[in-house]
A and B are shown apart, each in its own frame.
Chain A
């Protein structure tokens, strides 16, 4: 993990340029772009490695690049010290020279106390990582809140004029592209998700169409229902896309899904590397540095007074792919 972070850190400037360029042209919240032609299949080997950025050409004329304004102090609120939150925090502290990190798992400081401290501080923005941090921050902070690592934000009323978020899952198109890269035979996939994620479903459908894959999506309200539909779709699909909607998943349901998928030899795409040990064949997760970079961008825009221009939920741009055989990280 640390080696990946170090590697990512070294490539950060180039990545930022790439991310900025890619963000310039697309936004998840804007109406979906017309489907682009399906690219030619890449004949390169499945192993995707990080290539060094092309050398920056010497400017012919001296152009004065404006120096970005220093970032405001931020209050980073962590739900807990779990890796999913701590990694992002760590990437963030690299970005923000002036920051304070608050850990809500510290029982000595309940969320009320923490937010009171934040409100009393000079922090300009609250970066909440995780649902508990986001909920507390949105509820009690008098400062703008940028949340990340929250999947079911819509259930908790996190969105308001003073709140912006970062997508909890990497771009679905990139995910599907990577999956197709790993398994070119993929042709029909299924997915089950709880209600309130219509945008995500739409994004998935677009990505599926773009990559020539049939997508069968069911919206359920309980793990029972998830299992019910999964058992019925398993025979008709050759891949299952597991979305991290905890509301419709339980430990028993997850295990059942993995067991049935293994029995039916149906590969499962999971949102975290840890779930590979349950029998999933591929995991695609977000990259902490990418999350941090996205948050930084939002914070800058908030600092610039352009919060209204910031979409409610900013997409990520990098994915981290891991199969059971190799670790793969790829940019979109």
Chain B
């Protein structure tokens, strides 16, 4: 049985029954005209109707064949019964010229229209007489001898007749039976013993009878009943289809009701409401959708929070603040009132960072943020612009009110004491104020104005405020700042930046190990503008992250291009703190490297010491991801920042780039020499290579070799070039080396 089923399944697969199933389902898969997708109600209903119709057809076929079988069985029994009766009726016809017997026979035949014709034959098969309901008397002929013999053989049998039926016409029967009489041989029944199982019998063959039967009436009646059944079935099917459609729609209404809310959800409307469902399955789906919407809402809120807020302080970030500023500007355009923008910069924040470390600096920033929030009004907007810079929007205030608010803020800040490492620090701030008026509502200009005012406050001695005064210089400065912003924006949009490649060589062999990628901006006069000039503006105007990504993309393109001729090409790319503000940094790097077939092991990312040692959690994670990607990491500008050597051990960098300030006057500065030697030794112990920047001459290079520095970079080693070229630096003899300051 199992083998048979397996064979059937294999056959079905070979016959691609699944395709057959699709073909069968195709007509039922009504497609919605608008959306082009299949309609569930129609499909279910179509399948149900089809199933019902199929069942009905099978039922009717069974009814027909079953009825036929029953009829056939009944025909056989009737035929046998009539044969026996005709046998009885016919016997007198053979034994005597009994006209009554013939009448009885005719009467019998007439009673049954199913009997077409009855014919009696003599013992030799000669047709003696025939009676019938049809007009076939003339067609009755004598029996052939073969039929005679067969009929004689059944005399005395349990079924003493021969029956044949047509294949094409199964309701027609032809029966041939012998007519014989039996008698008890014992005269007077004196010898008759009823207990004998086999009574002696004297048999005498009288002749034969043939009967032609046609049960077409019953057959036609069966067909009529079946036709009636089909009609009823069709009516029931149609009614079922109509009712089923209605019932299905009602049943699936709960699912249909989900369509609109799900569409809204897909559009991003997370406030959508779902109707409660009565069915368990739908209720579970609704519950899941509501949970999803809630989760999406929560995630959106979280993302919004992350997108709009500073992760350290929870204040608005620059992006969000600018939005508020724009909104306020629009209000002022329509309302005509005034508002004030404060730019708050902490005084000497670097000192606390230097003294207590960056975690302490972060704690201070949070405290300042709290103080700012406490110091401003409910409608005021406070944001952290980055580092130790904050911005405050004070709506609906004139200049006097702004000054008063600023004074209050300054006083609160003066009173604020920050305790760190059992030391008390008093942190002050400088506040630059600019007024938002109908004439002065461009947010770029406003930020710039407030920034300028803040700088004025700092220059005036810090711990004070200054209100921006529109002057020609101020306008020029503002215009210049805005000009940089526009220029940088255009440079990014039009891909105007250019890359330069400066080699970094081994001190001992003079061979180039890799190139640092530097960014330049072509000036109007054809000269290249150095990054020191435009990068601060880029930071100020929030374009630094884009510049970082531009660098990564173009450096990768350059790598792809140049590595064709230099398979060992290795590049060092600078990443600013702003680059790490982007959560997609690592995935972007991976995608770009993949696109341009960059081997991650041939890329070094240079990160400033200040960013590295601050170690915000997300920066630490992204550094780890870059390392996992296969990239190397360099600690840039080492020595100028806030680190201690304990941090160096924990950071796992591949290179330490010693700040140029230590190298610039190395031959004449023994303190710098000692410093560099120390850094080189520690680097060696920590497994990090040291790179000295700003190498301008051979003497410095030689001295760096003595001090144990591994690599050198600077004009003497190689100037930045449009393409990365390996350029060996000459190695000086030791006898030509002098140690000034070491006498």
- A:262-293 near B, CB below 8 Å: 271-272, 274-275, 277-278
Q: Are A253 and B182 in contact (CB under 8 A)?
A: yes
With A275-B194, A277-B195, A278-B194 as contacts: A228 and B88 at CB distance below 8 Å: yes
The total of chain A residues at the interface (CB under 8 A) is: 36
B89 near A223: Cβ-Cβ < 8 Å: no
Interface residue? A14 (CB, 8 A) = no
Pick the contact of A246: B90, B179, B185, B206 (CB < 8 A).
B185
Measured CB to CB, the closest approach of chain B to A62, in angstroms, equals: 46
Tell me whether A274 and B193 are in contact (CB under 8 A).
yes
Give the contacts of B171-206 with A (CB-CB under 8 A): 179, 181-195, 199, 201, 206
User: Which residue of chain A lies nearest to B89 when distances are taken between CB atoms in the complex?
Assistant: A228
Among the listed B91, B188, B190, B192, which residue makes an inter-chain contact with A224, where contact means beta carbons less than 8 Å apart? B91
B87 contacts chain A at the CB level, 8 A cutoff: yes
Query: Who on chain A is nearest to B104 by CB?
Result: A228
* Bound-state Cα–Cα, A274 to B190, Å: 10
Docked complex Cα distance between A252 and B202 (Å): 12
* A221 B183 Cβ-Cβ under 8 A: no
Does B15 reach chain A (CB closer than 8 Å)? no
Cβ-neighbour of A227 out of B88, B95, B199 (below 8 A): B88
Do the beta carbons of A246 and B194 come within 8 Å of each other?
A: no
Set of chain A residues within 8 Å of B192, measured between Cβ atoms: 244, 246, 272, 274-275
Rounded to whole angstroms, the CA-CA distance of A169 and B194 in the bound complex is 19
A131 to B92, CA, bound (A): 26
A319 sits at the interface (CB 8 A): no
Q: Name the CB-closest residue of A to B188.
A: A151
Q: How far is the CB of A139 from chain B (nearest CB, A)?
A: 16
- Asked whether any CB of chain A lies closer than 8 Å to the CB of B96, the reply is yes
Cβ A149 vs Cβ B95 within 8 A:
no
Mask: chain A, 103-135; 1 = CB below 8 Å from B; 0 = not: 000000000000000000000000000110000
Residues A251 and B89 in contact, CB atoms below 8 Å apart: no
How distant is B158 from chain A, measured CB to nearest CB, in Å?
11
The reply to whether B184 and A251 form a contact with Cβ atoms under 8 Å apart is yes
**Residues B183 and A246 in contact, CB atoms below 8 Å apart:** yes
The number of chain B residues touching the other chain, given as a range, is 20 to 34
Q: Known contacts A221-B91, A228-B89, A277-B195: does B182 contact A82 (CB below 8 Å)? A: no
**A224/B194 in contact, CB under 8 A:** no
Q: In the complex where A246-B183, A249-B183, A250-B182 touch, is A222 in contact with B92 (Cβ < 8 A)?
A: yes
Contact in complex: A246, B181 (CB < 8 Å): no
Contact residues of A between 232 and 267, Cβ < 8 Å to B:
244-254
User: Known contacts being A250-B184, A251-B184, is A244 close to B91, with CB within 8 Å?
Assistant: no
Residues of B within 8 A of A220 (CB): 92
List, in ascending order, chain A residues with CB within 8 A of B95's CB.
221-222, 225
B511 to chain A, nearest CB (A): 128
Minimal Cβ-Cβ distance residue in A for B179: A224
Cα separation A224 to B194 with both chains bound (whole Å): 19
Contact assessment for A131 and B181 in the assembled complex, using a CB-CB cutoff below 8 Å:
no
- Segment 37-63 of A: residues with Cβ below 8 Å from B: none
Q: Is the interface of B mostly helix, strand, loop or mixed?
A: mixed
Is A208 close to B, CB under 8 A?
no
User: Are B182 and A223 closer than 8 Å at their CB atoms?
Assistant: yes
Tell me whether A150 and B187 are in contact in the complex, defined as CB-CB below 8 angstroms, given that A221-B96, A274-B192, A278-B194 are known contacts.
yes
B191 touching A84, Cβ below 8 Å: yes
A74 within 8 A of B: no
Q: Which residues of B contact A82 (CB under 8 A)?
A: 190-191
Nearest chain B CB to A150's CB is how many angstroms away? 6
Say yes or no: A250 contacts B188, CB within 8 Å.
no
Q: Known contacts A228-B88, A251-B199; decide if A222 and B190 are in contact (CB<8 Å).
A: no
B188 touches A251 (CB 8 A): no
Q: Tell me how far the C-beta of B311 lies from the nearest C-beta in chain A, rounded to whole angstroms.
A: 107
Contacts of A247 in B (CB 8 A): 183
Residues of B within 8 A of A271 (CB): 188-189
Q: A295 to B193, alpha carbons, bound, how many Å?
A: 26
Least distance between A58 CB and chain B CB atoms (Å): 44
- CB-CB under 8 A from B90, the residues of chain A are 224
For chain A residues 140-165, which have a beta carbon within 8 Å of chain B?
149-152
Q: Kindly report which residue of chain B lies nearest to residue A132, judged by CB atoms.
A: B187
Q: Is the CB of B183 within 8 A of A244?
A: no
The chain B residue sitting closest to A222, CB to CB, is B181
Residue of A nearest to B194 (CB): A278
Give A168 to B191 CA distance when docked, in angstroms: 13
A271 to B190 alpha-carbon distance, docked (Å): 9
Q: Does A85 touch B at the CB level, under 8 Å? A: yes
Residues in B whose Cβ lies below 8 Å from that of A250: 181-184, 199, 201
Q: Which of A149, A151, A223 contacts B181 (CB 8 A)?
A: A223
Please state if B189 and A249 are interface contacts (CB–CB under 8 Å): yes
In the complex, are the beta carbons of A223 and B183 less than 8 A apart?
A: yes
Question: Would you call B88 and A224 a contact (CB within 8 A)?
Answer: yes
Q: Which residues of B contact A80 (CB under 8 A)?
A: 191
The answer to whether A246 touches B88 (Cβ under 8 A) is no
Inside 8 A of B188's CB, which chain A residues have their CB? 131, 149-152, 168, 244-246, 271
Check B183 against A224 for contact (C-beta < 8 Å).
no
Q: Which residues of A contact B199 (CB under 8 A)?
A: 250-251
The answer to whether A225 and B182 touch across the interface, beta carbons within 8 angstroms, is no
Contact across chains for B183 and A248 when beta carbons are under 8 A apart: yes
Is there an interface contact between A251 and B201, defined as CB atoms closer than 8 Å? yes
Chain A's closest residue to B94 (CB) is: A222
**Contacting A249 at CB < 8 Å: which of B184, B190, B191, B206?**
B184
Interface centre among B187, B189, B193, B195 (most CB of A within 10 A): B187
Q: What separation, in Å, do the CA atoms of A80 and B186 have in the docked complex? A: 11
Q: Is the CB of A246 within 8 A of B193?
A: no
User: Interface code A75-113, partner B: CB below 8 Å = 1, 0 otherwise?
Assistant: 000001010110000000000000000000000000000
Residues A246 and B184 in contact in the complex (CB < 8 Å), given A221-B96, A222-B95, A271-B189: yes
Q: Is the CB of A225 within 8 A of B91?
A: yes
Contact partner of A244 (CB less than 8 A), chosen from B89, B179, B189, B206, is B189
Report A-chain residues with C-beta under 8 Å of the C-beta of B185. 246
A142 to chain B, nearest CB (A): 24
A274-B87 in contact given A131-B187, A152-B188, A225-B92 (Cβ < 8 Å): no
* Nearest CB of chain A from residue B101's CB, rounded to whole Å: 8
A277 in contact with B194 given A250-B183, A251-B201, A252-B182 (CB within 8 Å):
yes
Of chain B, the residue at the smallest CB distance from A248 is B183
Given the interface contacts A274-B194, A278-B194, does A224 sit within 8 Å of B181 by beta carbon? yes
When C-beta atoms are compared, the residue in chain A nearest to B206 turns out to be A222
A251: chain B residues at CB < 8 Å are: 182, 184, 199, 201
CA of A247 to CA of B185, assembled, Å: 8
Give the distance in Å from the alpha carbon of A271 to the alpha carbon of B396 in the complex. 141
Chain B nearest Cβ from A273, distance in angstroms:
11
Measured in the bound complex, the distance between the Cα atoms of B189 and A253 in whole Å is 13
| Residues of B close to A224: CB separation below 8 A | 87-88, 90-92, 179, 181
Whole-angstrom distance between the alpha carbons of A80 and B201 in the complex? Answer: 18
How close is A277's CB to chain B, nearest CB, in angstroms? 6
Complex partner residue of B190 from A149, A253, A278, CB under 8 angstroms: A149
CB distance from B678 to the nearest CB of A (A): 133
Q: Give the residue of A168, A222, A246, A278 whose beta carbon is less than 8 angstroms from that of B186.
A: A246
B residues bordering A, Cβ < 8 Å? Answer: 85, 87-92, 95-96, 179, 181-195, 199, 201, 206
Which residues of A pack against B, CB within 8 Å? 80, 82, 84-85, 130-131, 149-152, 168, 220-225, 227-228, 244-254, 271-272, 274-275, 277-278
11 A-B residue contacts at CB 8 Å? A150-B187, A151-B187, A221-B96, A223-B183, A246-B185, A246-B186, A254-B184, A271-B188, A272-B189, A274-B192, A274-B194
Q: A150-B188, A246-B189, A250-B199 are in contact. List 16 more A-B contacts (CB 8 A).
A: A149-B188, A168-B188, A221-B181, A222-B91, A222-B181, A222-B206, A225-B95, A246-B192, A249-B184, A249-B189, A251-B184, A251-B199, A251-B201, A253-B182, A254-B184, A274-B193
For the complex of A and B, list the 9 residue pairs with the smallest distance between their C-beta atoms, beginning with the closest: A151-B188, A251-B199, A250-B182, A222-B181, A224-B91, A84-B190, A244-B189, A131-B187, A246-B184
